[in-house]
Amino acid sequence: MNLYVAIADDEYFIRQRLKKIIPWDELHLTFAGEGENGRDILELIKTSPVDILFLDIQMAKMNGIETAQFIFQNYPHIKIVILSGFHEFEYARSAMRFGAVAYLLKPVNKEDLYSVLTDCTKKICQEKQRETQLQNHYRHEKQTTLSLALSGQLSFSDLLDAYPFLSNMRYGLCIGIFINDETDCPVQWIMDILNSPNVECEYFRESNYSYTILLLARMKETIIQRCSIVEQQIHQAACFTFITLSNIFLVQDDWREPYKQALHLLNHRFFSQKSELLMEYQSSFSETSNITFSKIRQKLVSLINTRNKEELKCYIHELFFEIRKRKNVNYMYLLITELFLTYNIHYPKNFTNDGNMQDFISMTIDEEYSLDNLESTLTFYGLKCIESTESPPSDVIFNNRITAYIKEHYSEPDLSVNRLAEHFQLNASYMGTLFKRINNQSVIQYLIQVRMEAAVKLMKEGNYRITDIAEMVGYSDVFYFSKRFKKLYGYSPKEYIQMQMGT
């Protein structure tokens, strides 16, 4: 954390000496500016960030006591360190009533200066950490409440009881987002565009790469204008980004339909070759009723049993060509589900998903945005069914190194497939294929499993809050952590802790 330091003293050489003896780099401090009197420093604070202020007692125009009082009333976060001569001690004590945290006698001693700065930086870091925790807690509560409204469990009138400021909002929009990015909050750039004094905006993480944004505004034109800006900038996104918009709705109406609409439209990302914003999807899709899955299943099993690898690859490619031609999301889901279920029913030892095959299929689709990637995954499992042989010892050794690294570093929020690949100097796709071959699950799925098992252990200890546990197991977004936990265990973290306590 970088903190900003300002100096207010009417003696030029004292200001210069302070700048010279402050350990800027060691304590991660940055010089914010200086002034000869209180008025100068207040002008500085208006335009520049200041965390620590060295403030002389005796100055012309506006003395240190007056300046400290004004800062205490208007900028209470600034830590004031009084500079005084020995005979000004009583003035220094007066300044303490206005938030001064320490005083230093002139000429300032290096050791005393270092001690005061260390104490200030420690207090500031603790305060900012507490503020962040409070903000995270507030946002988690707000997300939870809004998600109840999105799922139809809470009416808008009930929502106003918790958040009366929403009474100014008349219109709403649900925005679905898929971003092929593993950074901490890739959706933030969209939030920055949408946010304005005239709107209320909140995002919800749906999966590793999918998000929903709820946008509320007083005027319908405001919503249209904010989304128009997003549409103009989406092609500048650093990675594949697909955005969908529901119909604009009245906030007093049921939110469930637009919420489902935005998420459902996200599935059309598989038919997009570039980042785009989808307002309406008017293409006429072919019906799925004429699909003969029995023939597909029979052909697939025949190719696997005859160990015909090349024909199997060609056949799966033909099936995906049909998906591309139809551009039908329902057809895509049905076909991919059928292929996976055929593999699992006839060659079950190639899957270790505890019988929850539907969740495995859903997660596989949710994590991808390209039909080419899905085709490669289905081909990989088909070839795996053909081979049904144990992995080479070298692959097992390498896999063990990957799992050991995950178990050691799972608490780090930036742990991702790309980071693992970089650490082991492997192509990310190859590493993922190797990992799936041994573990029958993706790296992401394994990481989630390790994190959730660690979370359960922490909950059983009973010494931590949910927000703390989320951070300790690598989730910077406590709402997303709670959602993942409930999907895996069937209970929210809060419910799980209550059960552990017998309440």
Question: What is the chain's mean pLDDT, rounded?
Answer: 88
User: pLDDT-based confidence at 281, cuts 50/70/90?
Assistant: very low
In angstroms, rounded to a whole number, what is the distance separating the alpha carbons of residues 67 and 56?
A: 10
Q: Coil, helix or strand for 342?
A: helix
Residues 6+ apart with CB under 8 A from 20: none
Distance CA 446, CA 436 (A): 10
In a domain? residue 13: yes
pLDDT digits (tens, 9 = 90+) for 151-178: 999 999 999 999 998 999 999 999 999 9
Do 108 and 167 have their domain in common?
Answer: no
pLDDT the model gives residue 282: 45
Task: Give the helix, strand, coil percentages of the chain, each rounded to 5.
Answer: 60, 15, 30
Q: Which residues contact 319 (CB under 8 A, 6 or more apart)?
A: 296, 335, 339
Q: Is residue 136 part of a domain?
A: no
Contact 493, 466 (CB under 8 A): yes
Evaluate whether residue 144 is within a structural domain.
no
pLDDT band at 286 (very low <50, low <70, confident <90, very high): very low
- The verdict on 11 and 62 lying in the same domain is yes
Q: Are 323 and 335 in contact (CB under 8 A)?
A: yes
Same domain, 25 and 111: yes
**Considering only 94-103, 148-157, 414-423, which range has the smallest mean pLDDT?**
94-103
Identify the weakest region by mean pLDDT among 54-68, 191-205, 350-364: 350-364
- 485: domain CATH number is 1.10.10.60
Provide, rounded to the nearest whole percent, the portion of the chain with pLDDT above 90: 54
Q: What is the mean pLDDT of residues 55-69?
A: 88
* Same domain as 399, residue 382: no
Give the pLDDT of residue 145: 93
Q: What is the CATH number of the domain that holds 8?
A: 3.40.50.2300
In a domain, 145, yes or no: no
- Per the structure, the count of domains in the chain is 4
| Domain-embedded: residue 261 | yes
Highest mean pLDDT among 52-61, 182-191, 285-294: 52-61
End residue of a domain, out of 327, 357, 387: 387
- Does residue 100 share a domain with residue 25? yes
Same domain, 271 and 161: yes
Q: What single-letter amino acid sits at 291?
A: I
Domain presence at residue 288:
no
Q: Is residue 337 part of a domain?
A: yes
Assess whether 496 and 457 both reside in one domain: yes
What integer pLDDT is reported at residue 283 of this predicted model?
Answer: 42
Domain residues for the domain of 78 are 3-128
Same domain, 262 and 166: yes
Q: Among 87-96, 244-253, 320-329, 412-421, whose mean pLDDT is lowest?
A: 87-96
Q: Do 352 and 440 contact (CB within 8 A), yes or no?
A: yes
Same domain, yes or no: 357 and 417: no
DSSP string, 304-336: HHTT-HHHHHHHHHHHHHHHHHHT-HHHHHHHH
pLDDT tens track for 212-244: 999 999 999 999 999 999 999 998 888 899 999
Predicted confidence at residue 88, as pLDDT, reads 64
3-state SS assignment for residue 394: helix
Q: Quick check: 372 pLDDT over 50?
A: yes
Q: In the listed set 387, 410, 428, which residue is the last one of a domain according to the structure?
A: 387
pTM strictly above 0.85: no
Rounded to 10 degrees, the C-alpha dihedral 59/60/65/67 comes to -100
Is residue 135 one of the residues assigned to a domain? no
Kindly indicate the confidence band of residue 85, based on its pLDDT and cuts at 50, 70 and 90: confident
Mapped onto helix, strand or coil, the DSSP state of residue 502 is coil
Are 425 and 452 in a shared domain? yes
Pick the more confident residue, 437 or 296: 296
3-class DSSP assignment, residue 180: coil
- Residue 26 and residue 120 share a domain: yes
